[in-house]
Amino acid sequence: MADNKRDYYEVLGVQKGVSDDELKKAYRAMVKKYHPDLHPDDKEAEEKMKEVNEAYDVLSDKEKRAKYDQFGFAGIDPSYGAGQGGGFGGFSSGGFSGDFGDIGDIFESFFGGGFGGQSRSNPNAPRRGQDIKTSVQISFLEACKDTGVDVRVNRYERCPDCSGTGARAGTSAETCPSCRGSGTVRVTQRTPLGVFQTTKTCDRCGGTGKVINSPCPTCSGQGRIRKVFSKNVKIPAGIDDGQTLRVTGEGDCGINGGPNGDLIIRVSVRPDEVFEREGFDVYTEVPISYLQAALGDEITIPTIDGNIKYRIPAGTQNGDTFHLRGQGIPKLNRNTRGDHHATIRVVVPKNLTKKQQDLLRAFNDSLDDRNSPEKKKFSDWFK
């Protein structure tokens, strides 16, 4: 029976001593070539598929392979012999999917457009550098005007000694001799079933098509180095807590001549003890004495531009708010500003002496309804 049977290694187009991975690869290549779904009525393909399955069945089994290596076809179970009714049974059964985990994977390569094709992206294509994220903190008042902030980050920069080529000064990267610069190599397998060609990534150059025989010592052949980069970045007036700025082109340098990434700065604004912000409006509380409130006075209101004088009328009440138009926070990239709202807090005197208490009582006795209309309304309702 051995007379008309082909050597199993020959059938799969591999050498004796082939690794499990290579064997699997070779088998997959054959499956792609002879799968019955691709050749519905092709008797010859069916026969070849059968032959391939049989060869793989033996060679992928350590024990069977060892026997086959030693004794040839005589060393293995005769039921593996071709034309003995093995048919296609073994192909679509568990043996197949078991070996490859997921049968869908195989079918995807048949019908998903990946059949025989190479979808590997070009490793020499220009790639944009990574964006770098960092954060800065500024005070409330700094956020109200244009501010310069020193930003320090670690980033990749083009190696100055080799200009990014990765090759030692005076040398250059050379075309990979294994793949002649294509980054892929063709593996040709000549078998009695025909000549098979598969393509794989070139081991020598890792698919770049270039080899650096004498790497640049500064960057170890990487073409870029990590460096501390610092820059004074202008933060525009009006920025709010949590907003980000993008400084174009100041991220990691690009690869293969691609553009640089960006530097992205998240700005956090420290809260202030005096000022509060809502949108572009600023809120403050202004404590005044009950005398100032009763008689009116020129008071001092703190704003983001500094303290300003403001006249409040006699009879100002606790909680009254005065609005200063256009004295709030500058609106980003616009020429207008929000408002400032100053809320009056009347401070009630504490720790009065006996004499002060008597004066206050005497004063209070002098009050009538005209002095506090709201109170009158309230007592009228109470009656």
Per CB under 5 A, residues contacting Zn ion are: 159, 161-162, 176, 178-179, 202, 204-205, 216, 218-219
Question: Contacts for 196-203 with beta carbons within 8 Å, 24 or more apart?
Answer: 196/13, 196/29, 196/30, 196/33, 198/25, 198/29, 199/118, 201/120, 202/176, 202/178, 203/178
Whichever of 47 and 161 has its CB closer to Zn ion, that residue is: 161
Name the E strands within 3-120: none
CB 267 within 8 A of CB 138: yes
Whichever of 161 and 241 has its CB closer to Zn ion, that residue is: 161
Which token pair is 9? 């290694």
CA-nearest of 219, 220, 229 to 260 is 229
Whichever of 97 and 178 has its CB closer to Zn ion, that residue is: 178
Query: What is the smallest separation between the CB atom of 17 and Zn ion, expressed in angstroms?
Result: 25
Query: What is the smallest separation between the CB atom of 165 and Zn ion, expressed in angstroms?
Result: 7
Query: What is the smallest separation between the CB atom of 257 and Zn ion, expressed in angstroms?
Result: 15
Query: What is the smallest separation between the CB atom of 260 and Zn ion, expressed in angstroms?
Result: 17
Query: What is the smallest separation between the CB atom of 177 and Zn ion, expressed in angstroms?
Result: 8
Amino acid at 100: F
Whichever of 67 and 204 has its CB closer to Zn ion, that residue is: 204
CA angle, corner 280, sides to 278 and 281, nearest 5?
A: 60
Whichever of 20 and 203 has its CB closer to Zn ion, that residue is: 203
Q: Which residues contact 349 (CB under 8 A, 6 or more apart)?
A: 289, 290, 356
Query: What is the smallest separation between the CB atom of 220 and Zn ion, expressed in angstroms?
Result: 8
Bridge-based pairing of strands 263-269 and 132-138 is: parallel
Amino acid at 187: V
Query: What is the smallest separation between the CB atom of 179 and Zn ion, expressed in angstroms?
Result: 3
CB 174 within 8 A of CB 210: yes
Whichever of 55 and 202 has its CB closer to Zn ion, that residue is: 202
Which three-class secondary structure state does DSSP give residue 111? helix
Whichever of 216 and 342 has its CB closer to Zn ion, that residue is: 216
CB 341 within 8 A of CB 281: yes
